[in-house]
Amino acid sequence: MTKLSVNINKFATLRNSRGGNNPDVVKAAIDAQQFGADGITLHPRPDERHIRYDDVRQIKKIITTELNIEGNCDEQKFIDLVLEIKPNQVTLVPDNQDQLTSDHGWDTIKHKNYLTEKISVFKKSGIRVSIFVDPILEMIEGAAIVGADRIELYTEAFAKEFAAGEKQKAVEPYLKAAQLSKQLGLGLNAGHDLDLSNLKFLKQTITWLDEVSIGHALICDSLYLGFENSIQLYKRALQ
């Protein structure tokens, strides 16, 4: 089974655009769970421009499904939050402070010592660690060396080529990366730009995916189809 972790940051973006508490992100997390999400993903950024650190605390208190916190482990504030909350999983991304969204994976060779140290801090606390990587075989080997439990394949390139009609070419590097991660005993997540057009094909090609983390497209679809319906459609694409 491939788990669907719903990234609800966009609820916070909408809320923050007007002040107040509409939409309520805590309610969004409860609803996502009730509508069938297997997990909730939160990505607090240092400037708290969407999910705030305190949202993470509130959401952790009420959800029973898996919690995945994504973020940049360069920030001590982020590390402290994750160690306090103890989510099921932390996904480490090499984002810069002011980045609009994650746009590259880790260089696991260049940052070998850094990642080894950071990952061990979370693992000592019993938190599963996933690291965001491009589908480059050396980076996957490096992920195993630095001690990650899982990798999250950065799927933007797949989504772009898929949309251009090059389905098989789009998925090929991801399939090779997924096969290697399996050989190395790494769990496998995927995320970024996954949507209702490309998700089913990805899942059918890489059947052993553990989890996908989806935000933007699912929330956009919810505007037209409703949140519950959208979650159900994404779940169906993963069957």
The footprint of ligand PXP (CB under 6 A) covers: 7, 43, 70, 91, 93, 101-102, 132, 152, 191-194, 213-217
The residue (of 31 and 70) whose beta carbon lies closer to ligand PXP is 70
The residue (of 42 and 85) whose beta carbon lies closer to ligand PXP is 42
Task: Tell me how far apart the alpha carbons of residues 231 and 218 are, in angstroms, rounded to a whole number.
Answer: 7
| Shortest spacing between CB 164 and ligand PXP, in angstroms | 17
> One of 66, 70, 152, 161 is an active-site residue; which one?
70
| Shortest spacing between CB 175 and ligand PXP, in angstroms | 19
| Shortest spacing between CB 13 and ligand PXP, in angstroms | 11
228 a catalytic residue: no
| Shortest spacing between CB 43 and ligand PXP, in angstroms | 5
Phi-psi region of 70 (alpha: psi -120 to 50; beta: other; left: phi over 0): beta
104 a catalytic residue: no
43 a catalytic residue: yes
Number of residue whose CB is nearest ligand PXP: 191
Q: Which two tokens stand for residue 188?
A: 């496998």
- Total number of residues shown for the chain: 239
The residue (of 13 and 20) whose beta carbon lies closer to ligand PXP is 13
The residue (of 75 and 183) whose beta carbon lies closer to ligand PXP is 75
Burial 136-173 (b: 16+ CB within 10 A, else e): beebbbbbbebbbbbbbbbbbbbbebbeeeebeebbeb
User: Which residues are designated catalytic?
Assistant: 43, 70, 192
